[in-house]
Structures are given as structure tokens and as C-alpha cells.
Structure 1
Amino acid sequence: MDLLILSVVVLIYLSMIGYVGYIAWKRTRSADDYMVAGRKTHPYIMALSYGATFISTAAIVGFGGTAANYGMGILWLVFLNIIVGIFIAFVFFGKRTRRMGHNLNALTFPEFLSRRFNSRFIQYFSGAIIFIGMPLYASVVLIGMARFVETTLSIDYNIALIVMAIIVAAYVTFGGIRGVMYTDALQGTIMFFGMLFLLGGIYYLLGGVTDANQALTNLVNIVPQSATAKATATGFTGWTSMPALGSPFWWTLVSSLILGVGIGVLSQPQLVVRFMTVKSNRELNRAVLIGGVFIFVTTFSAYVVGSLSNVYFFELTGLTAVQAAGGNLDKVIPTFISAAMPLWFAYLFMITLLSAAMSTLSAQVHVQGTALGHDIYETIRGEKKKGSSVVIARMGILVAVVIAVILGFILPPSIIAVGTSMWFGITAAAFLSMYVVALFWKRATKAGAIAGLVGGSLMSLFWLLFGFKKSAEAVGICQALTGKAVIITTLPWPTVDPIVMSLPIAALLTVVVSLLTKPPEKEHVDKCFAGIDANKGK
């Protein structure tokens, strides 16, 4: 380790982050500034902030390592990330969210849903889901960065975990969402070029695109042997092909990793709130191309590098990438960079991962803080004193960071991709059906929204604890009550992700209960949808 070069790189990076955070702090003067950046965000900053928040160390380290286990079938997630996470999210959801959020003067995602359906319960229940559930996602982002520092720089994992958490807590607490979005844009730019270089580097090492991909195809008889894959390897057909349709391996890849994240992105509170930070639809139109290119480069690079790392390690050691990383999927990308890349690139890529982790983590803890201060505390107590919710939000941010650090100490290996898909699935079950009808169906009622919210949340929780083997085994409640790890042991049910079970139930409850209850008042609906169908460019 070259301490001088490392110190210079880190100091320059932290100085840039500090300066951008200071500018954001200087421009944060009100609750609107703190929570929605005054609704005047530049499209480049909005797009990079959205992309950098979406693509974290969970995508680069966690899903990169998962790609080493499942192969290039995971590239379908890139397609969903762009079509659903960018095009559909910005063009169909983002424009309506921005306008309706302005009409309702909503500052957070739970408040947006609450005011759309005239329900305080929706606001504090949604806020509670975010504040209680999101620490799982925040912790796996922290873990991704800490694992890279541990592997690359031989720095203690626990120290890396704590130091990064302190840095993020500092600039989010004082700068609000301006601090988050300004630093996100800087970090997203660094991520973009870092991932491009990594992709080019692995193809260079393996003799070019054609030779590298063919070499991976030729490893068809080398079956994944990670600790998490042993129970689900049935159905593996090769590193460059999809698993056998309907096999446990297929269900894990498609339902948990591809669908869970690919669809769940639409209901991510930390992403939805960014639509409410821009001035007009024109900014969203301009942001689509920027966001699409960014998402493609970062996710495609991570998944391809993860898959191809099998070729590098097999030719070098006779082991798969996961075996070379000691069976821990979360160490595949760090191990590959340490083994294959020059030291100077390891330092620069550390900054790329630091950017990825901090951009996502900052958005997560900001949303958790506003959920506690604005959506729970202020809603339940009816507290409207100017600045009070911001104070509570800042306290919530600090609490959220502490919880994420604690989970970072106790969560098991190979947890990053699993934890990410679990959180995305939880939000889809709880929020997605309600969010869709809020934007597109004027007949939707408060009772229908609450039924979908509560029903989807409970079904998701039930399947996580009693049906989905990875989570049910870890918690142990089903084993204690029934004597079995899961209630249905017949394949493929133990590998079916909760989103497959809970999202249809939430959607059905939302629609049926809405049709069975009194339509909402026309005056309120007209206020919500004012200007949405006309003057679309404004």
C-alpha cells in the first residue's frame, strides 16, 4: 500500500465533497430547501443524483458478486433498470409525481401519498415502514464499501464501516437534500468513468470482447459452488445463458434479483422524491437521456465484470470467482480488483465505490430522517412549528446511521444483493399499487389505498418470515413455531421472492376495495390532477 498516493487521492476527494456540501448548506434555508431542494434542481444534477442513488455499492459490489455466481443472465436487470427505472419512471411516473406533488405541496413520498388520499394514517404508516425497513438497505451499502476497503487496503472492516458512516451523516444532517443531490452529481460523474475503465480493463486482460465472452461460455461445466448457491444450483445451464425455466436457480435469479429490483425501483421513496425537486417536465425530459446512459454504463459494467471474473480466476487458479473470494459474494469484485488491477487503479476505484456508497447512503438516511421527523412525528403530534420537523429529521438521520452501522456488524456474508432485493420487494408490496392508482386512477379511494398498503406489507412480512427460505432460515420464527424452515417445502416455493406473492395481493386489494367504497370527492381529485393532462411540457 502506497500511503502517500492513497492519502492524496482521499484528501482531494473529501475536499471536493466538503466544498459541495458547504455550498448546499449555504443554500438551505427552509423546509422546502431541506426536503425538496426548493423544487428548482438542474436536470443534470437531478439525473445524476437519481442514478447515483439508485446505483450503489449494492449494485457494483453486491450484484457484481452475484453476477459472478449467476452469470450474464442477470443482464436482464440492466434492461429493466433502464426501461422501468429510467424511461417509465421519468416519463410516465415522474411527470405526474412532480405536478401532483406541487399541487399538494408535498415534501416527502409518504406525505405525497397521504395528501393524495386524504389520510394521515397512510403518512405515518408509510413513514414507519421506511424508518424501520430501510436500515437493512442502508447497512448493505455500508457493507459493500467496507468490504472493498478491507480487501484492497487491509484496513479493519469495522473501522471502515464507522468512518464512512460519520462522513455521510455530517453532510446529510446539515445540507439536507441539496447536500445529498449536489454531492450525488459529483459522485455519479466519478462512478461513470470509474466503471467504464473497469469494464475496459477486464476485456483487455482477457484478450478482447469476443475471446473473453467465449472463454466464459466454455466454462459451462464449472458449476457455482458458493455457500448461497449450493441449495439452488439446480437449473444452472452455463455462465452466458439463462437457467432452466422454472428451476430453483431460475426462480432465485428472476424473482428475487431481476424482478425484485427491476420493478421495485418505481416505489423507492429516495428516488420518487427527486421528481418533486425539479421545476417543470422539461427538466425530466432532459434528464432521461443522462440517467439512461449513466444506468447502462454502471450496471452493465458491474454485471459483466462480475461474470467475467470467473474466467480470470479460473485461468489463474483453477477456481471460480466466488471460490477465490472465499465463498463470500460480497468480496468477489474487491478480490478481483486487488488481484488483477494496478495499485493506482485500486485507489481510484475505491473513490468510485466510496462515491457509489455515499450517494446512495446519503439519500437513504435523508429519507429515513424525514420519515421520522416529518411523516411520523409531525403527523401524529400535529406539530407545525416552523423548523421543528427539520430538527427531528436531523435527529432521525443520526439514528438511522447508527442502526445501519449496527446491522453492518451483525449481518451475514453474501448479504448485499439479498438485502437490496428484500428492501426493493418490501417497498413494491407496500407502496407500488397505491402509488400507481394515485397517479393514474381518479376512482381510487382512501380505503382502497390503505387496504393495499397494509395488505401488501403484511403479506410481504409473512412470506419473508415463513415462505422465503433465505430470510425465514435467518430469522428462525417459522422453525420455532412449525419445526420447518419454511411452511411450504416443495420446490420452487422456498425460492419464490415475496414480491411475487405480495404485489398481486396488494394490487387486488387496492382495486377491489376502491370499487366497493364511495368514490373520492371530485373537488379533491380535480385539485390533485390539476394541470397533469394539459400543458404537459410545463
Structure 2
Amino acid sequence: MDHSLLYVMAVLYLGATVYLGYLGYRHTRSAKDYMIAGGNVHPFLMAMAYGSTFISTSAIVGFGGAAGVYGMSLLWLTLCNILVGVFIAFMVFGVRTRKMAHSLGVHSFPEFLGARFESPFIRRFSAVVISLAMPLYAAAVMIGGARYMEQALTMNYHTALLIFAIIVVTYVFFGGLRGVIYNDALQSTIMFFGMATLLILTYTQLGGLSVAHEKLHNMADLVPAALVEQGHRGWASMPEFGSEIWWFVISTLVLGVGIGVLAQPQLAVRYMTVSSSKEIYRAMGVGGVFILFMTGTAFTVGALSNVYFYETSSQLALAATAAGGGTPNVDRIIPLLITESMPPWVMVLFLLSLLAAAMSTLSGQFHLIATSLAYDLMSSTKRRDGKTLLWARIGTIMAFVITLLLALQLPTSIIAIATALFFGLCASAFLPMYTAALYWPKVTRVGAASSMVVATLTYLFIVLFIHEKEAAIFGVSQKLFGVTSIASAPWTYIDPLVTTLPISAIVLVVVSLLTQETDSSIKAESTKAQA
């Protein structure tokens, strides 16, 4: 890498980041400014902030690396991201969320749920789920950026983690959501140009679009025998229907993330930052194009990396990451491809793109953890603005420490798994309740709370004791029962979301229908007491 160019670009980039964080600080004078950026953000900024918060290094490095193993089948996630994560999210959830949030006068996702159901328990329980689970996702994002810095700059991995975290925590601490959104606009622009360059140069090096895809298709007979047994049929084809890999790609990666995005707390807050529903409709097109280009590029280049590595080293992408006696690591496929195949200026541009992707997502995550800890868990009707702002900033430091410690402990090849796990948990715990809050007047607070608690506990049980990929990482089942999973196939590789989301929805409906009279009497007593 051309280090002189890197230093110049890094200084310019960090200078712009500091300046935009300062602008956010200057305009952050109240809890509303810190939580939802004053509620008057321009739709373009909102769309770019939504997209850059959604698409992070976990998508580019983690899921791009997964495409290097499982192939073009991950492009179904791109389709799902656009249809569900942008169009349905904005039109079905975004408009009503903004309207209801402004009517209730709320500033965070847990506060929104708590106010809608008039339930402090729902607010605090959802804040606990976010505070405990979000650091896992944030750690995955941090690892993605640090892995590229480690590869490109021959930097110590732990040093790279620390650099990422300190930069992000600084401007979130001072600038709140205004600082986050201002920086997201800059970072998403850098990400877009970085990924465009990567896509064009990858196809150029491999002989053009049709030639590159033909080469990938012709490599089907090179798939390792172990992957063939699990249903792999080549990097240009879908896995065998119903096979272990098919279930992992479809249920964990595509559905877990594609549906889970609807109930992402850090994204739901973005709807609250604009002043009208019209602004959300205006933002939708920008968000769709951005998501298409980011994920489509990452998954395509990830799959095509097998062509490059086989032509240059007679190795497949995953095997190339273990060159020199190392351990194969899915999370190193994209960083290794960039450092070995791209000219120095592209390495610098992509480094900044990954910095931007990681920082934009981490900033939203740190902000959400901070507000969940300091605003929702420690909420008080008498404590507003000044003290809330102070505690939110203290919460940011707590989020930083928790995430950094977790990132240091997670194993290799963890980014895509950790991301899908968080998305799946949010979908199971929040999506039925969130949907009912917007569209079903008969939902009761008992039904909503029961759905959230049952789904959360069921999801965690499956993760710890049944679903093999996560159960092996956490090791609880192994310690208690001496086996990685207490279940048998196919449940060991069917994602927890497939089971817990229907359970969550059924519990919500059944309990709500059984508690109609109870909920009505509680509301009547509450109204009488307030009067």
C-alpha cells in the first residue's frame, strides 16, 4: 500500500469526520437532538444514514466472505434487502412509525413500544434485550474493519480494533444522532464510490462480466467434497433444496437478515428523524439504490474471488486465507482479495470505504446502546434534557467498553453468524409486537409483553442448545450435556428464526384475544387515575 497516499487520505477523512461531529455537537442541545436529531433531517440524509447504518463491514467483509464460500446464492439476500429492508420497511413501517412516534412524543425504539402499550415493563425489557445483544452485532462490525486494516497495513489486530472504536465513540459521544447522521452522509458516499470501483476492477481483471461468470460456473467440479455432501452445487448455482447449506443460506442469511431488518431498533429510529411522511417516500428511492449497489457488489465480488485465487494460486478463496499455515477464515476473503488484486490507490479507497461502513454502523449501534442504557433503563418523568444528555453520553462509553471486550473474545469466521443472530433475535422478539403496535388495535399490553418474552427466551434456548453453529461457539450445551447440540438434523441447521417468529406471532394473537377485558379495565383505571 502507498502509505503516503494513505496518510493524506486518512487525515482528510478523519478531519471531515471530526468537523461533522463538531457540527452535530453544536446543534445538540436537548434530548430530542441527541436521540432523533431534532426530528427535521433532510430525506436524502435520512436515506443515506439508513443505508450506511444497515450496510456495514459485516455485509461487505462478513457476508462478502460468505459468498466466497457459498456463491451467488447470497444475491437472494440483496433482493430481500431491497424489497423488505427498504420498500416494505419505509412504506409499511416507516410512515406509521414516524407518525405515531411524533404523536407520542418519543425519542427511542424501546420508548416507542413502551408508550404505545403504556407499559414500562415492555420499554425496559426491550432496552435490556438491545443492550445485551447489540454489542455482539457491533463487535462483528468492528472485527470486519479491523481485519482489513490488519491485512492491508500489516497492523496488529487488537490495535486496529482500538482505533476503530475510539474514533467512533468520540463523535457519537459529542454529536449524538446529529453527528451520526452528518457523518453517515459522508461515509455512505465514500462507500458507494469504493464499491463501484471494486466491482468494475474485479470484472476487468477477470475478463469482463460474461467471461467472469462463465469461469465461475465452470468451477463447480472444484467444490470440496465436504461442501458437496452438505448440498453445495457450485458458486454460480443454488445449493441443493433442503440441504444443510440451503437451510443456512436461506433461513439464516437471507431470512434472518432480510426479515430481521424490519425490527432493527437503530433503523426504526431513523424514521423518527424526518418531519413528515412525504420525506420518507422521498428517501425510499435513494435507500433502494444504495442497498442494491452495496450488497450486490459485495456478494458478487465475494463469489468471484474464487476465480481470481484459482487463476493466481490454484486455490479456492477460503483455502487462500490459510496460506502460510494459518487457519482458514471466511472473514479474510474480501480483505485478502483487495490487498492482492487491486492497485495501491484502490486499497486506500477501499480502506476508507470499510472505515466508513464500520463507523457509520458502529455509530448507530453505540448510540442505540447508549440511549437504551441511559434513557430507557434509567428513565424518569422528572429527568429530561440536561441529565438525559449526560447519561446518554456516559452510556456511549459503556457501549464502547462492552463492544471492545466482546470483539476481543469472539472466534474467527464470526461476522456473518453474529450479524444474523442479532437480526434474528430482533425479528423474533420485536417484529410481531411492532407490527401489531402499528396495525392491530386489539393487541394488548399483556399479549405484546408475552410475545416478546417468550420469543426472546425461546430464541436464546435454540441458540445455546440446538442450532449447531451458535451452540458450538457459546459452548453451553457442551459443558452441561457433553454434546454440541441436544437435537438432531435438520433442527441443528434450521435457523432459530424459522421457529421463534411464528411462536412469537401466535403468542401475541392468542394472549391478546384472551386478555381483551383485562387490558380494557387496566386502561380505564389508568385514565381515571390520570384524570
The amino acid that maps onto 1:429 is: S
Q: Distance in 2 between matches of 1:383 and 1:427?
A: 30
2:243 to 225, 243, 247: 247
Equivalent residue for 1:412?
411
1:471/1:232 CA distance change after superposition, 3 Å: farther
Contact kept? 2:263, 2:434, Cα under 8 Å:
yes
Contact kept? 2:442, 2:516, Cα under 8 Å:
no
Contact kept? 1:372, 1:393, Cα under 8 Å:
yes
CA deviations over 1:305-327 (Å, ceiling 9, x no partner): 00000000011111111111121
Equivalent residue for 1:290?
286
Matching of residues 103-114 of structure 1 within 5 Å: 103-114=103-114
Matching of residues 5-24 of structure 1 within 5 Å: 5-24=5-24
The amino acid that maps onto 1:5 is: L
Equivalent residue for 2:527?
none
Q: SS of 2:379's equivalent?
A: helix
Q: SS of 1:377's equivalent?
A: coil
Q: SS of 1:494's equivalent?
A: coil
Q: Distance in 1 between matches of 2:335 and 2:35?
A: 35
**Does 2:69 match 1:69?**
yes
1:480 shift after superposition: 2.4
1:385 shift after superposition: 4.4
Q: SS of 1:83's equivalent?
A: helix
The amino acid that maps onto 2:315 is: L
Equivalent residue for 2:349?
348
Deviates more, 1:397-406 or 1:297-306: 397-406
Contact kept? 1:191, 1:355, Cα under 8 Å:
yes
Equivalent residue for 2:338?
337
1:5/1:444 CA distance change after superposition, 3 Å: same
Q: Distance in 1 between matches of 2:382 and 2:159?
A: 39
Q: Distance in 1 between matches of 2:65 and 2:391?
A: 38
Q: Distance in 2 between matches of 1:498 and 1:126?
A: 19
Equivalent residue for 1:98?
98
Structure 2, unaligned runs of 5 or more: 323-327, 525-531
1:170 shift after superposition: 0.5
Contact kept? 2:31, 2:384, Cα under 8 Å:
no
1:384 shift after superposition: 2.0
Contact kept? 1:223, 1:233, Cα under 8 Å:
no
**Does 2:508 match 1:510?**
yes
Q: Distance in 2 between matches of 1:232 and 1:197?
A: 33
Matching of residues 81-230 of structure 1 within 5 Å: 81-224=81-224
CA deviations over 1:241-299 (Å, ceiling 9, x no partner): 11111111111111111110000000000000000110001110110100000000000
Equivalent residue for 1:238?
234
Q: Distance in 2 between matches of 1:169 and 1:38?
A: 21
Q: Distance in 2 between matches of 1:8 and 1:515?
A: 63
Equivalent residue for 2:528?
none
CA RMSD between the two structures? 1.6
Contact kept? 1:233, 1:249, Cα under 8 Å:
no
1:483 shift after superposition: 2.5
Q: Distance in 2 between matches of 1:36 and 1:426?
A: 24
Contact kept? 1:232, 1:249, Cα under 8 Å:
no
Q: SS of 2:274's equivalent?
A: coil
Q: Distance in 1 between matches of 2:38 and 2:393?
A: 18
Q: Distance in 1 between matches of 2:228 and 2:393?
A: 43
CA deviations over 1:14-46 (Å, ceiling 9, x no partner): 011111111111111111000011110100000
Deviates more, 1:358-367 or 1:475-484: 475-484
1:233/1:56 CA distance change after superposition, 3 Å: farther
CA deviations over 1:338-358 (Å, ceiling 9, x no partner): 110001110111000000000
1:271 to 267, 271, 292: 267
Q: SS of 1:319's equivalent?
A: coil
Q: SS of 2:378's equivalent?
A: helix
Equivalent residue for 2:490?
492
Equivalent residue for 1:530?
none
1:389 shift after superposition: 2.0
**Does 2:318 match 1:313?**
no
**Does 2:420 match 1:421?**
yes
The amino acid that maps onto 1:284 is: I
1:429 shift after superposition: 1.1
1:522 shift after superposition: 11
Contact kept? 1:460, 1:499, Cα under 8 Å:
yes
Q: Distance in 1 between matches of 2:199 and 2:227?
A: 31
CA deviations over 1:35-70 (Å, ceiling 9, x no partner): 011110100000000000000000000000000000
Equivalent residue for 1:456?
455
Contact kept? 2:197, 2:346, Cα under 8 Å:
no
Q: Distance in 1 between matches of 2:100 and 2:47?
A: 20
TM-score (norm 2): 0.95
Q: Distance in 2 between matches of 1:484 and 1:158?
A: 32
Tell me the matched-pair count. 518
Q: Distance in 2 between matches of 1:146 and 1:505?
A: 38
The amino acid that maps onto 1:414 is: S
Equivalent residue for 1:302?
298
Q: Distance in 2 between matches of 1:346 and 1:386?
A: 43
Q: SS of 1:221's equivalent?
A: helix
1:414/1:232 CA distance change after superposition, 3 Å: farther
Equivalent residue for 1:536?
none
Contact kept? 1:248, 1:495, Cα under 8 Å:
yes
Q: Distance in 2 between matches of 1:295 and 1:97?
A: 21
Q: Distance in 1 between matches of 2:236 and 2:191?
A: 26
Q: Distance in 2 between matches of 1:387 and 1:26?
A: 15
Contact kept? 1:370, 1:390, Cα under 8 Å:
no
Contact kept? 1:330, 1:415, Cα under 8 Å:
yes
Equivalent residue for 1:403?
402
Q: Distance in 1 between matches of 2:480 and 2:241?
A: 33
TM-score (norm 1): 0.94
Deviates more, 1:491-500 or 1:143-152: 491-500
CA deviations over 1:172-227 (Å, ceiling 9, x no partner): 011000011110011001101111110111000011110000100001012258xx
Matching of residues 20-39 of structure 1 within 5 Å: 20-39=20-39
The amino acid that maps onto 2:457 is: L
Q: Distance in 2 between matches of 1:474 and 1:12?
A: 40
Contact kept? 1:478, 1:487, Cα under 8 Å:
yes
Equivalent residue for 2:475?
476
Q: Distance in 2 between matches of 1:283 and 1:461?
A: 37
